Amino acid sequence: MDMQSGTVEEALDKAAAVGVTAVVQVGCDLERSRWAAEVAGRHENVHATVALHPNEAPRIRREEGPGALDAALDEIAALAALPQVRGVGETGLDYFRTGADGIEAQTYSFRRHLRIAKEVGKALVIHDRDAHQDVLRVLREEGAPGTVVFHCFSGDAAMAEECAAAGYYMSFAGNVTFKSAQPLRDALAVAPLDLLLVETDAPFLTPAPYRGRPNAPYLIPVTLRAMAAVKGVDEDELATAVAANTARAFGCPPPR
């Protein structure tokens, strides 16, 4: 869901109308993490994750100083301990928008988030953009928590196989429907059914043929239908598997 567009109730009603009866609201900075936790506290079918997006870490250090980054991470740790918060993320590495001067801050923040996830015993939700091997390396060096979710999976088939071998969940978004996304579909094709998740990345990555409008949970069935076609399975079979995977990954009961 997008905290700037409409009401939570409207978004949940539209999602429920197409069979999407529970959502995970992802935090990407302090404001949105606080909001995600607050919304999840008010709605039993909303679960939160909290974190500083990789690009937030160098920004905070640059604009507010190193102490501010540690203070922000301490607040993320406090939010992560709340019962309605089911994961720590999205965190990781993003080399697309942050140059070499931001890598150290990103890596420091990623390692802190990883440790927080292990301390609270919750899923680690990873943002990985143009940084596949470094993300996997940090996971190996730190020791991954029990549950790892690659948000908006962007790797190729070889990376999907590596993630599968490690037992990492791979979450696919609407860009799997884009004509230019054959490598992503190749990755989906080899990803095991029991490690698949689906997401919006709202308001971005709206699936075809609805590109141009803001993405939202009610469009999840469009993405899931495309995923089922790639996997060669029935839509209901994939939907059942994804619901069970989501409940298992985030430690929450399947939606009623």
56 is in an annotated binding site: no
Model-level pTM? Answer: 0.93
201 is in an annotated binding site: yes
pLDDT digits over 188-236, tens only?
999 999 999 999 998 999 999 989 999 989 999 999 999 999 999 999 9
256 has pLDDT over 60: no
What are the extents of the domains in the chain?
Answer: 24-121, 152-249
| Equal CATH topology for 24-121 and 152-249 | yes
Q: Identify the CATH number of the domain defined by range 152-249.
A: 3.20.20.140
64 is in an annotated binding site: no
How far CA 171 is from CA of 36, 149, 160, 163, 252, in Å, comes to 19, 7, 11, 12, 17
127 is in an annotated binding site: yes
Question: Is the domain 24-121 a CATH 3.20.20.140 member?
Answer: yes
pLDDT digits over 24-79, tens only?
999 999 999 999 999 999 999 999 999 999 999 999 999 998 799 999 999 999 99
Average pLDDT over residues 130-142: 97
